[in-house]
Amino acid sequence: MKQELKAYARSLGLAAVGVSSAEPFWRERQLLLSRQQSGFSPPLSEDEIERRCTPERSLPGARSILAAALSYFTDRGGGEELQLARPPEGVRGGRIARYARGRDYHAELRERLEHLASFLREVFPGARYAIQVDTGPLLDRAVAVRAGLGWYGKNGLVIVPGEGSWVALGEIVTDAPLEPDAPVQDSCGNCRRCLEACPTGALEAPYTVDTKRCVARLSQTRGYIPQEFRVAMGNRLFGCDACQEVCPHNCPREDPDVDLAWVIELGRTPFREAFGESAAAWRGRATMQRNALVALANVTCAEVPFPGRPPVEAEQLLASGLQDDRPVIRGHAAWALGRTGGWNARIALRARLAAEGDPGVQGEIRQAVRKLAREEEGTLGEELGGGTG
């Protein structure tokens, strides 16, 4: 019966399916408590931890868990790729994490699990079940590893043989009796590529992620991005694939950049039309445009083979952000102008400061103005002292 379920799951386009027992995840419970005490994870109540680690809290009488993985390569089960504007030739744009470049994986995977659950009830008449895709309380990665889908990579992601970590995870908790699968052997060996590739050092040690430093999380958190991480975000608009792109178990693939000017100027309706069916839409337009301002400043200042827009054009785009009605946009536009510099940036910042009423934005503007003033003094000093004597 289990083999029939797996065969049907493959026919649905699922990359891998395995079975886990519904015993509590005691080891993961201890890890959650330990990482929370070390400051690596956000605070959780005792009840939240119990719900995450106890399958029976999701379905009383649970006996088994069907764990599933869906590839989010757009040509391998993840749906059609979003049609997003690309930057002009020779101009560097922004990057969106691969999982958010197609239809929202929550919907894609849940649809397949609903079909699989219906088939489960045909095999086990009267079986009860509960479907979870990321938003449920259970620890998806812990379930996947116990069910033999893959092993924990040193970046904390599950690596599925033949698929790598480019997968979305979900599960069906059920009271149907299914024989558990055996775990998969860890094949990371001595490799440390993911740890070395992390732009902010969030991977402080193997299997240990400091979520407060993780760019994937920072790019999705509302409000102000801490200044210490803004340059490290590079040209990332949403999410971060740095630790996955270097993994030898992942298939390489070059995704096209997104035009940063297009993102910055998107209205509400065009944003919904462009991103509405993707996982990138859930934090809204302001978060994406905030990230685009940071990315535009970074690619304008970076020494890369494919530079950003000409400084004057970038400066005009950033200065337009100072007039936005959202404080978080004005604040990050101010920081971005302070990073790119230029006479027009100084004029725009000082003019905005005189009219600005938000304390947070005022602080960002003042810091940007002071930075530009220090740089101007440094340049003048070099010019005055740079003669041959």
185-234 residue pLDDT tens: 999 999 999 999 999 999 989 998 998 999 999 999 999 999 999 999 99
Is a pLDDT exceeding 90 seen at residue 254?
no
Query: What confidence tens digit (pLDDT) does each residue in 336-376 have?
Result: 999 998 788 999 999 999 999 999 999 999 999 999 998 87
Confidence of residue 303 (pLDDT cuts 50, 70, 90): low
Q: Which of 132, 152, 378 is nearest to 243 (CA)?
A: 152
Which pLDDT score, from 0 to 100, does residue 222 have?
A: 93
**Who's near 353: CB < 8 A, 6+ residues apart?**
362, 365, 366, 369
- Cα distances (Å, whole numbers) of residue 108 to 144, 232, 325: 18, 32, 35
Is a pLDDT exceeding 70 seen at residue 131?
yes
Distance in angstroms (rounded) separating the CA atoms of residues 14 and 3? 14
Is a pLDDT exceeding 50 seen at residue 383?
no
147 with 23: CB under 8 angstroms?
A: no
Q: Which of 348, 345, 343, 344 is nearest to 379 (CA)?
A: 343
Which pLDDT score, from 0 to 100, does residue 85 have?
A: 94
Query: What confidence tens digit (pLDDT) does each residue in 42-99 have?
Result: 777 778 889 999 999 999 999 999 999 999 865 554 456 788 999 988 889 999 999 9
Domain ranges of the chain: 2-80+102-174, 326-389
Distance in angstroms (rounded) separating the CA atoms of residues 215 and 95? 12
87 with 53: CB under 8 angstroms?
A: no
What the block records as the tokens of 29 is: 């419970």
Distance in angstroms (rounded) separating the CA atoms of residues 33 and 289? 35
First to last CA, the chain: 89
Distance in angstroms (rounded) separating the CA atoms of residues 19 and 36? 29
Which pLDDT score, from 0 to 100, does residue 306 have?
A: 55
Q: Which of 262, 291, 244 is nearest to 83 (CA)?
A: 262
Average pLDDT over residues 173-181: 97
Q: Rounded to 5 degrees, what are φ and ψ at 164? A: 70, -150
Distance in angstroms (rounded) separating the CA atoms of residues 87 and 104? 24
CA angle 168, 174, 177 (to 5 degrees): 120
Confidence of residue 308 (pLDDT cuts 50, 70, 90): low
Q: Catalytic positions, please? A: 134
Pairing relationship of beta strands 167-174 and 64-71 according to DSSP bridges = antiparallel
Distance in angstroms (rounded) separating the CA atoms of residues 333 and 294? 8
Which pLDDT score, from 0 to 100, does residue 45 have?
A: 78
Buried-state track 75-107, b at ≥16 Cβ within 10 A, e below 16: eebbbebbebeebeeebbbbbbbbbbbbbbbee
Is a pLDDT exceeding 70 seen at residue 326?
yes
- Cα distances (Å, whole numbers) of residue 20 to 134, 192, 332: 17, 29, 46
